A = this chain, B = another copy of it.
Amino acid sequence: MDQDMKGWFTERSPMWPGQAFSLKVNKVLLDTHSKFQHIQVFESSHYGKVLSLDGAIQFTERDEASYQEMITFLPINCHPAPKKVLVVGGGDGGVVRELARHPGVEQVIQCEIDDQVVEACKTHVPSLGCGFSNPKLTLYTGDGAEFLKTTTEKFDIIITDASDPVVSGEDEAESTKDGPAASLFNEDYYSRMKDRLASGGILCCQGESIWLHAELITRLVGKCREIFPVVEYAFTCTPTYPAGQIGFILCSNNPATNFREPVTVWDEGKAENMGLKYYNAAIHRAAFVLPTFISSQLCKTK
């Protein structure tokens, strides 16, 4: 049943065994190894430019808005005054690009572990890399979990835009190893974030796929419910992520936060005028509505 796939990029991962997704490659723009990971940027035939880290697609230009807008505005629009924002990860520049749209955001601190990812996107994908010219941004290079231990600052919002915790080893097709984002998927990391949240602070973390990682999600959401008074799980539809969906874990240290109803309401007309492709207030509300199979499972963690 195989077909000729020469000139295609194929994504496989131990985090989603038995399936693969491929994009046709027009031109390889970068193929290098940093201290942390294998970085590839290519121009695809139908999805614009694509960034892959350790063989996993991080974005395509065609559908990245569905991820970048949602991981940014789900938390931002639930906070009445999101002045000071910390971004952990997000080395492609998409989240800080989105943050520049919001007039209430006064200061953005970003901590990305791999400066070669930042350089790759600034050089090869200006549609995302432009985010780093956000004048409110201070960018640090380092491990986000370590940064949270050492910083004394407090934030209204913390966004963790991480890659997957587990990646393929390069030597054997089926071996696995911790990726550079492994330290961002455990309860210790969530406790550290809580320590760095200002009063009424909110966090939003990349939360994998309900179709592929229900166990990881249920465990993390359960742990978060021991730490925070308000915890919700939302999702967005991003065709080029595995299973076509990716979720977010949202936590608030303000018991009055209702994530399902944004305090800043951008209806469809307003969203379109702002240049948003995916996010609007109705999508915000709908993002928390989950299929029966996962909703009933997450309810049990309450």
Q: Which residues of A line the B interface, CB within 8 A?
A: 1-6, 8-10, 12, 17-25, 28, 40, 42, 44-47, 62-63, 65-66, 173, 209, 211, 237-245, 268, 271-272, 276-280, 282-283, 285-286, 289-293, 295-296, 299
Contacts and interface: CB of A to CB of B under 8 A. Distances in A.
A285 B289 contact: yes
Contacts of A1: 8-10, 25, 28, 40, 42
B18 A20 contact: no
**A20, A66, A242: residue with the most chain B Cβ atoms closer than 10 Å:** A20
A278 B293 contact: yes
A292 B296 contact: no
Number of copies of this kind of chain in the complex? 2
A239 B241 CA distance: 10
B278 A282 contact: no
A85 B292 CA distance: 25
**A4, A277, A285, A286: residue with the most chain B Cβ atoms closer than 10 Å:** A286
B21 A45 contact: no
A214 to B, nearest CB: 12
Contact of A19 (B4, B47, B296): B47
21 contacts: A2-B6, A3-B10, A3-B173, A5-B10, A10-B22, A18-B24, A18-B45, A19-B22, A62-B211, A211-B239, A239-B243, A243-B244, A268-B295, A268-B296, A277-B292, A278-B291, A279-B291, A279-B292, A280-B295, A283-B289, A285-B286
Contact of A292 (B22, B25, B278): B278
Contacts of A244: 237-239, 241, 243-245
Contacts of A268: 292, 295-296, 299
B5 A20 contact: yes
